[in-house]
Amino acid sequence: MKVSSTGGVGAAGASRARPAGGGSNFALPSVGAASGVAGAAAAGGLAGVGSLDALLALQANMDPMERKRRAIRRADDILDILDGLKIAVLDGEVSSSTIDKLKRAVREHRESVDDPKLQSLLNEIETRAAVEEAKLSVMRGS
């Protein structure tokens, strides 16, 4: 394919702009520059959504053993964070970063949970994290 224009990003948008009058194909590169940039930005946004859909579809087609391995790995991550929080509470040295890490882990892993009992357990963990965060903020404020 031969490229004969060096008009930059705006040239692509300008080639689509047609004058209403005669049959002339002449167009200034600056006329369609804004629409060309907006079109490129919109296309980039759509490509991001499409790739996310493709990734989710790929994950949905995972074999059951791989899904189970990932679920166990996620559960182990949350249990490790909870264990660290338990030790910090017993020592009286709870940090906001540990609580934030726990809340983030629960939030990230909640999407892949279908079991209502497990959802309930994750809700309880989030509630406990919020309580510890509130206690920490009261202790720092006093």
Q: What is the pLDDT of residues 52-85, one digit of tens each?
A: 666 666 666 668 888 788 888 888 998 999 898 8
Q: For residues 104-130, give the mean pLDDT.
A: 86
Mean pLDDT of the chain: 73
In sequence order, what DSSP letters do the residues of the chain get, joined into one string? --------HHHHHHHH---SSSS-----TTTSHHHHHHHHHHHHHHHHHHHHHHHHHHHHT--HHHHHHHHHHHHHHHHHHHHHHHHHHHHT---HHHHHHHHHHHHHHHTT---HHHHHHHHHHHHHHHHHHHHHHHHHH-
Out of 6-20, 27-41, 46-60, the most confident range is 46-60
Segment among 62-66, 91-95, 103-107 with least mean pLDDT? 62-66
pLDDT of 14 over the 50 cut: no
pLDDT at 80: 93
